[in-house]
């Protein structure tokens, strides 16, 4: 059994990231092995969770992977841990669209985990009790464990809130005073990733841990977490997952159903192929299970930093470039001409999502990029955000015509021209550049929900020689290879 609790809030901005991360850090510093998790597709919070616990931050999203995988993925991530802390997303009952599917409450029920509600009490006193009563009684299927009051202004303010909540019968598990020391800066897509501000993030983490330790009843929170019953599920394993694929059942919420072996997904014979995965400060978005699936499918996963590395790792047979903030680091990425030249000349498979799409473009905000795609990318004034129920409408290096994928878009950029033959279509939209070698799209996919992606990518890498070209210059504007 894994002790566990979910840290939720009535709405975004209440302080649940500070409380959840501070709780993870405080328990870790007491010698506990803490498994960190985040509800939803967010990539940034798990980076702070990993810093707090020393374990990979993992996402739990039933929209992206299906309800049936939630508990197995949770158990996989929490293996060997003393306790798991799951940070919620938005408000407790806010889900995908108008439903509560993929909400914090939905995930808490799937995990049968007690919920701790973080309430911003800065501009209220007795009204806190009415708010908490409403959230606790709205869905009686939830295991509602208590409340942590955040941004308390004074001892008198705390006393009033505690007295009101005592009348409601909801336990108060902590009361945290206002503090600027735990603030985390934001920009156009949310918090600044921990990898970009490691020294300052560490200081903020220390402050959050101390604040939670001084203000919350850690012993009672651990006791509450241990009331969670055993889960009737087996831990997810990446090995068998790569060999099971098929079209998704309608309305299942899963990217694919895992019912029949796919001949394409069998692990190729021979030594592992080396796959270079972009990292560093510009490319911080990714799910931990992707590398695990690639390894299980027969890959040696090696990280490289497009900001600082002037060459791909020796022997690279495939490249994966995930999400991040290349627009923030466009000047440095553009200045690394040797690496851009290698990527431009690379003849193996490339998988790119969102930020990776921008890096493969001919230019980004007027600065030269790799030129693998004959498109220009740039910042826009509007945010594109939301879940996508997409269908692949053509074959590619990763997909097959007619397959369904659950994904997520989150960006303030655009590429021009749009793809003439998009890879994915969904209600009201289309996206994706693809051929038999390169797949690049704004759509973020969780590969645990579509394990055939890893298997197909590794198999494609086996078909190319390990001969990256050294010292090639990026193509001049207008001469890049069309991958349309």
- Are 350 and 439 a contacting pair, CB within 8 Å? yes
- Are 297 and 242 a contacting pair, CB within 8 Å? yes
- Per-residue DSSP letter, 152: E
Non-local CB neighbours of 180 within 8 Å, separated by 6+ positions: none
Q: How far is Cα 387 from Cα 429, in angstroms, rounded to an integer?
A: 12
Residue by residue, DSSP assigns 276-328 as EEE-STT--B--HHHHHHHHHHTEEEEEE-TTT-SSPPTTEEEEEE-BS-TTT
> How many C-beta atoms lie closer than 10 Å to residue 13's C-beta?
10
Q: Is 177 helix (H, G, I), strand (E, B) or coil?
A: strand
Non-local CB neighbours of 335 within 8 Å, separated by 6+ positions: none
Concerning whether 354 is annotated as a catalytic residue, the answer is yes
Signed CA dihedral, 217, 218, 219, 225: sign only: positive
Residue found by looking up tokens 């709780």 in the block = 23
Q: How far is Cα 378 from Cα 413, in angstroms, rounded to an integer?
A: 5
Q: How far is Cα 281 from Cα 325, in angstroms, rounded to an integer?
A: 8
H or E element: which one contains 236?
Answer: none
Parallel, antiparallel or unpaired: strands 438-441 and 350-353: parallel
Catalytic one of 216, 354, 370, 461? 354
Q: How far is Cα 344 from Cα 436, in angstroms, rounded to an integer?
A: 16
Residues designated as active site:
354
């Amino acid at each position: 059994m894994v002790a566990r609790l979910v840290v939720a809030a009535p709405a975004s901005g209440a302080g649940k990231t500070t409380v959840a991360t501070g709780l993870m850090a405080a328990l870790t510093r007491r010698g506990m092995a803490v498994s960190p998790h985040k509800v939803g597709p967010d990539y940034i919070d798990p980076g702070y969770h990993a810093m707090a616990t020393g374990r990979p931050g993992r996402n739990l999203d039933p929209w992206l992977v299906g309800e049936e995988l939630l508990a197995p993925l949770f158990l996989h991530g929490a293996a060997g841990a003393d306790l798991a802390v799951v940070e919620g997303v938005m408000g407790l009952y806010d889900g995908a669209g108008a439903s509560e599917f993929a909400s914090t409450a939905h995930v808490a029920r799937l995990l049968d985990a007690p919920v701790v509600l973080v309430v911003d009490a800065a501009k209220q006193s007795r009204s806190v009790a009415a708010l908490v009563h409403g959230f606790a009684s709205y869905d009686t299927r939830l295991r509602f464990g208590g409340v942590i009051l955040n941004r308390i202004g004074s001892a008198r303010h705390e006393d009033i809130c505690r007295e009101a909540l005592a009348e409601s019968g909801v336990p108060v598990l902590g009361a945290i005073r206002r503090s600027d020391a735990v603030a985390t800066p934001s920009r156009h897509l949310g918090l600044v990733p921990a990898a970009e501000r490691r020294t300052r993030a560490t200081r903020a983490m220390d402050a959050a841990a101390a604040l939670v330790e001084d203000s919350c009843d850690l012993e009672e929170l651990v006791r509450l977490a241990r009331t969670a019953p055993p889960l009737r599920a087996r831990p997810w394993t990446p090995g068998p997952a790569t060999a099971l694929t098929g079209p998704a059942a309608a309305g299942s919420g899963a990217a694919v159903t895992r019912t029949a072996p796919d001949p394409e997904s069998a692990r190729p014979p021979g030594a592992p192929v080396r796959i270079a995965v972009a990292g560093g400060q510009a490319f911080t978005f990714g799910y931990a299970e992707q590398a695990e699936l690639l390894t299980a499918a027969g890959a040696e996963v090696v990280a490289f930093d497009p900001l600082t590395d002037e060459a791909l790792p020796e022997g690279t047979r495939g490249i994966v470039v995930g999400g991040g903030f290349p627009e923030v680091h466009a000047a440095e990425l553009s200045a690394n001409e040797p690496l851009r030249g290698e990527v431009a000349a690379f003849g193996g498979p490339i998988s790119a999502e969102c930020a990776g799409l921008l890096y493969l473009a001919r230019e980004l905000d007027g600065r030269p990029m790799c030129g693998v795609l004959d498109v220009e990318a740039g910042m826009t004034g509007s945010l594109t955000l939301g879940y996508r129920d997409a269908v692949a409408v053509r074959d590619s290096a990763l997909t097959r015509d007619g397959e369904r994928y659950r994904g997520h878009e989150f960006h303030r950029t655009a590429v021009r021209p749009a793809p003439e033959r998009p890879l994915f279509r969904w209600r009201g939209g289309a996206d994706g550049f693809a051929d038999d070698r390169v797949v690049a799209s704004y759509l973020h996919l969780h590969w645990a929900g579509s394990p055939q992606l890893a298997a197909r990518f590794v198999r494609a890498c086996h078909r190319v020689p390990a001969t990256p070209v050294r010292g090639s210059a990026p193509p001049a504007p207008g001469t890049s290879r069309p991958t349309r």
